[in-house]
Structure 1
Amino acid sequence: MSTQEYRHIVRIVGNDIPGERKMLVGLTQIKGIGYNFATAILDTLKIDTNSNIGNLTEENVQAIEKLITDPIGGNFPTWFLNRRKDIETGADLHLLTSDIPFTLRNDIERERITASWRGYRHLSGLKVRGQRTRTSGRKGGAVGVAKGGMAAPVKKGSAGAPAAEAAAPAAEAAAPAAEAAAPAEKKE
């Protein structure tokens, strides 16, 4: 690239990227930039994709940041962006870093408030995009099935055996109490 000194950490759009990473891999560490977007940025700026990111000059870093923050200004097509026709502004945007989960949470909350079908599905934790739920997408514990522990053993015999067994321990518990009361009467 140039005679500039090698940097061990390069800061691009608020992310620290190790200098030993290749250009493509280093740019994809920024949330919101995938492999194809990173390739398009490097091709537009005519930067070698196989060189290490630590060899970038300060001018190259600024040019990359400018393209990342304003891809429409760099003549990227709108279908390349990750948020087209934003609901609030109507503009085509490319979201980065912490803006992605923040916007996603806002979208889901808006759907819940408007009580749309998608909002109900998000609220219930079910599939939203029309997938089947009969066999797939199961999460959580089993419903209607007792897990763990063993069931009480049933002895072989007549159909009324469990009821008789339940009555027998009650009779055995009453017998010692009767025996304890009986000797007290004999002493008098």
Structure 2
Amino acid sequence: MTSEFRKMIRILNTTVDGDRTIYAALASIKGIGFSLANAVLKKAGIDRYKRAGELTDEEISKIEEVVRNPAMPSWLFNRQRDPVDGKDYILVGDEVTLAERRDISVMKKIKCWKGIRHSLGLKVRGQRTRTTGRSGRTVGYSKREKG
């Protein structure tokens, strides 16, 4: 059990700044927001205003255990009703990216509207495309000649 202050610590396979509060440090991990960070710290029994660098190895393992085996309401989870097995999960770090990539590839495969938009590289969620989201040359604008 270490009690000295550490500038960088490793939580859930992510390097976190030790100067930040553990509440903000957990929220900086991909897949964990402020609400989930607050719930995890309450469940683990750790003060949310404690600096991340002051955590002991035991407290870090307790946080990781709560995230891996959560006993919380499912509305806090970031992966509800997984299409593969129908369970609720908390995905953290690279798991979030992999699940997102897998979901997009399934949408492309079944050729749903969102899948078609993803495959064409267009806006997916109903945004305007007439004037925004352009790449390449500017359209509809020309400079006046100096003369």
TM score, norm. by length of structure 2: 0.83
| CA displacement, residues 64-91 of structure 1 (integer Å, 9 cap, x when unaligned) | 00011222xxx21111111111111221
Q: How does 1:36-185 map to 2 (within 5 A)?
A: 36-71=35-70, 75-129=71-125, 131-133=126-128, 137-140=132-135, 141-143=137-139, 145=140
Q: Within 2, Cα distance between the matches of 1:95 and 1:109?
A: 18
Number of aligned positions between the proteins? 145
Deviation at 1:93, TM superposition (A): 1.3
**More relative contact order, 1 or 2 (CA 8 Å, 6+ apart):** 2
Deviation at 1:147, TM superposition (A): 5.2
TM score, norm. by length of structure 1: 0.67
Bigger helix fraction? 1
Amino acid paired to 1:23? I
Residues 123, 129 of structure 2: 8 Å contact kept = no
Q: Within 2, Cα distance between the matches of 1:76 and 1:6?
A: 31
Unpaired segments ≥5 residues, structure 1: 151-188
Amino acid paired to 1:66? E
Deviation at 1:101, TM superposition (A): 1.4
Identity %, equivalent residues: 32
Deviation at 1:8, TM superposition (A): 2.8
The 3 A distance-change label for structure 1 pair 147 and 109 is farther
Secondary structure of 1:133's counterpart equals coil
Deviation at 1:148, TM superposition (A): 6.7
Aligned-pair Cα RMSD in Å: 2.6
Residues 111, 118 of structure 1: 8 Å contact kept = yes
Deviation at 1:46, TM superposition (A): 2.5
